[in-house]
Copies of this chain bind each other. A is one copy, B any other.
Amino acid sequence: MKANVTKKTLSEGLGLLERVIPSRSSNPLLTALKVEASEAGLTLSGTNLEIDLSCFVPAEVQSPQDFVVPAHLFAQIVRNLGGELVELELSGAELAVRAGGSDFKLQTGDLAAYPPLTFPTHADVSLDGGELARAFSSVRYAASNEAFQAVFRGIKLEHRAESARVVASDGYRVAIRDFPASGDGKNLIVPARSADELIRVLRDGEARFTYGDGQLSVTTDRVRMNLKLLDGDFPDYERVIPKDIKLQVTLPATALKEAVGRVAVLADKNANNRVEFLVSEGKLRLAAEGDYGRAQDTLDVVQGGSEPAMSLAFNARHVLDALGPIDGEAELLFSGSTSPAIFRASGGGGYMAVMVTLRV
């Protein structure tokens, strides 16, 4: 096997695989990259048993032959090479990697022992990859990395008539994003850590879904991915979305982020980074208090709703997370001091955060 490939495309492919393939494992086979050669190019693949990933890299190949190599070493070597073009040559159990004045000989692994990775060839439904990635990344923060209940470590994907919805929650807050989608897809829960990898590999353009047994496969023009799904019932989050909005304020999201960041410096870390929101007479006053002093910040807002004033308290971290995906104007919808509040982008956009208030 002899292949000529540009350093840039090979590095990009290896960069995706490197994030999935573990650098250490009790099963050393899993640290390997499998390379399948055809005359059109090289198919790189790897797995961490949660995610299988495969990526095609166009190359000029003579006498195609498959092999496995240590993934991270190979990626590091390729990244450090000089020049634009890389030459790969397999002879016996050694892979030569050449470019400019460099000549590396890398030991290959046991191809026969490498676990078989299979990717589906048909598609059940198709979504836009860019929309899906943006939706997942908007709600990702609300999924827990540690929660005891597995569903809180996942992101739910729901298919509706003319749209799809992703939802994440850690039990204290819910993040939701709707986006345009058609087709009759299934509802499912993707582990948040797998969603992180999906966000990275998806680009604008078709993302084809294939449903398997406890598994979702996603195929784009560039990559193929199998994801293990989470089992279980996602909580009935619609129940906590307040319907009866009594007071509503609109203000620039950036100004609010900066002000919350400021007062949070003095907020008590042992009391949920508590920040009070006091709305009245077209002003939002933020206040925090801790061992070292008190902070107060006043912002002008456009105020609406039936109640003339309200006072609520939130965890400052959660407020900053919820505002993260909002650019431009933010709308805060309050239904009472002790009921959940909604933070969303003014004028829609499909994103919404629902947060519990701290006790006043």
Using a CB–CB cutoff of 8 Å, the interface residues on chain A facing chain B are 70, 73, 76-77, 80-82, 94, 101-107, 258-259, 261-263, 265-266, 291-299
Contacts and interface: CB of A to CB of B under 8 A. Distances in A.
Copies of this chain, how many? 2
Name the 9 nearest CB pairs between A and B, nearest first: A106-B293, A101-B298, A80-B262, A103-B296, A105-B294, A104-B295, A102-B297, A105-B293, A76-B265
Given A107-B292, A292-B106, A299 B101 contact: yes
Nearest to A293: B106
Contacts of A107: 291-293
6 contacts: A70-B292, A73-B266, A77-B262, A80-B258, A80-B265, A107-B293
Contacts of A259: 82, 101-102
A258 to B, nearest CB: 6
Nearest to A294: B105
Contacts of A261: 80
Contacts of A265: 73, 76-77, 80
Contacts of A266: 73, 77, 104, 106
Q: Which of A70, A258, A292, A299 has the most CB of B within 10 A?
A: A292
